[in-house]
Structures are given as structure tokens and as C-alpha cells.
Amino acid sequence: MTAAMDELLDILDLEKLEHNLYRGRSPQVEWQRVFGGQTIAQALVAAQRTVEPDRHVHSLHGYFMRPGDIKVPIIYEVDRIRDGGSFTTRRVLAIQHGQAIFSLEASFQVDEKGLEHQFSLPDDVPPPEGLQTQRQLLEKAEHVPAAIRRFWARERPLELRPVNLEHYESRDKLPPRQNVWIRLAGPVPDDRALQSVLLAYLSDMTLLDTSTFAHGRALFDPDIQAASLDHSMWFHRQHPLDGWLLYVQDSPSSSGSRGFSRGTLYARDGTLIASVAQEGLIRLRR
């Protein structure tokens, strides 16, 4: 277990303040705002704490409203909207400085059998073992600001190995698609609810970047203001997260200073675990 992974598991263990009320903290890192995946994950933890253990998250939908402040705790308030025969619905509001910064709605279901199919793992994707890490690629890229290099150089709770290297090596206008191998940097507890939370955490990684590729740009360009606006996720199949996952991403559209990206997360054996969609602010500064 790395120190970063240990800290991630610690910040996901929310403190209960009162009925339906929880408090979470953020790692103190050199960054201006709370990582969106952390807010999604902590809000999901708060919702799970109010749901029967035999019901598991199958979908979530969240909206980012304000940047999170890493210096103060985040309060999560859970609204128990519905407890049905098979499904449970929860709404969570994340609050800082007396204002909402994020809202989440999540649905939970008891396990049921039914029709099954899935898209296959993409063909001809090289294995992660022979690929460079994102940190190595950023260190060699000429156009990466020093602050971004320092941020990615620190120890992290997960490792990313991009398949498509041209996004790091050039500023050409490229197809808005990428494949990224990703894995957590330590053992994951045998806890289905926590595994879903960790999957939600890592689902926010690299997704918004995909919407800039068609324009030969990057999120860290000084004339781009970028932020996640919403995030949706569907959990198809349980997985222990004990190895590499392939995150297949594309961006069908950018318009109105917003970039839209989609992603599918596959296990190494080809099992489709989850699907993701996100829209983010991609505004050109004047």
C-alpha cells in the first residue's frame, strides 16, 4: 500500500456528524481546487451510508457548481428520496462556506439476473507493461507548465499509462479519442461499496482532456479556462479493481464553450465494468 493510496482510503472514510450529515476532508496538495473525482466519490460514500448493504449503486449523476476549497472540510447532506421494493434513490448536496459546490443523485438496486450483452474490448490495444506513464510523458513534453509538472510528479493513488502518445508529443489537430490504462496504486479492500467509490474517483481522470484534441489544445493551456460541469456514470458489473483497467474515451462534440466526452472502463479480461459521460467548461480566455 502506497502512502497516497492509504491517504485516499482515509479521505473516503467520512465522519458522521448527524443523521444524514457527513464531513469529508481533502489532501493538502499544491493545487487550487478539490479534484472532481474526490467530490463524486465522497458524495457517493455519503449516499451509501444511508442505503441497505444489499443494494448497490448502478448509476449516478452529478453537477459541479463551484470550485471546492482544499483548505476546509466538505459537508455532505443526504436526502433519502425513495426506498422502493428493488431500487433506492438518494440525493446528496456538498457544501462549503455555506454554499452548494456539488450535487449528486444516485440510484441503488438489489442484484437481479436478466438479459446480458456488452461491447467488446477494442482490438489492437497494446498492453500497459510496455507503455510509459503519464508522468514520464509530461516530463518530456515541451509545452507543459512547471506547475502541472510538479502536480503530476508527486506520489498519486493511481497510475496512468496512455496508449495514444501523440497528444503529448504535438499540438496537431487529432481525432478526439484516446485509450488510457489505469490502475490503483495499492490493494483494494474486498468491499463492493468501496470498489464502486474508487471506480467513481478514477472515472474523472483524463476524460475532459479528450475534448481538446480536435483543436490541438490542452486543458493546461494558459488561455483555456477548464472545469467539469457534470458527470454521469453507470455501473454495469462488479470488479475487484485488482489490476489494470482500460479507459476508452471519445469526444463527439464541443460547442458553446463546453466539451462533451464519453468513456467506457474495461477490465483486462475484456469485461465492461462501467460507462461514463461528462461535459466540461472549455472556455477561451480573452
Among 122, 118, 129, 124, which Cα is nearest to 243's?
129
- The CA-based angle 75-79-80, given to 5 degrees, is 135
Of 103, 204, 209, 254, the active-site residue reads: 204
Of 178, 195, 254, 278, the active-site residue reads: 278
The answer to whether residue 10 is catalytic is no
| Contact residues for 200 (Cβ-Cβ < 8 A; gap 6+) | 37, 40, 41, 44, 60, 233
The answer to whether residue 28 is catalytic is no
Of 228, 249, 254, 261, the active-site residue reads: 228
| Contact residues for 159 (Cβ-Cβ < 8 A; gap 6+) | 133, 182, 183, 185
Give the single-character DSSP code of 41.
H
| Contact residues for 45 (Cβ-Cβ < 8 A; gap 6+) | 12, 13, 14, 22, 24, 76, 197
Cell of 218: 490542452
Cβ atoms of residues 277 and 265 within 8 Å: no
- The CA-based angle 112-118-120, given to 5 degrees, is 150
The answer to whether residue 86 is catalytic is no
Q: Which residues are catalytic?
A: 204, 228, 278
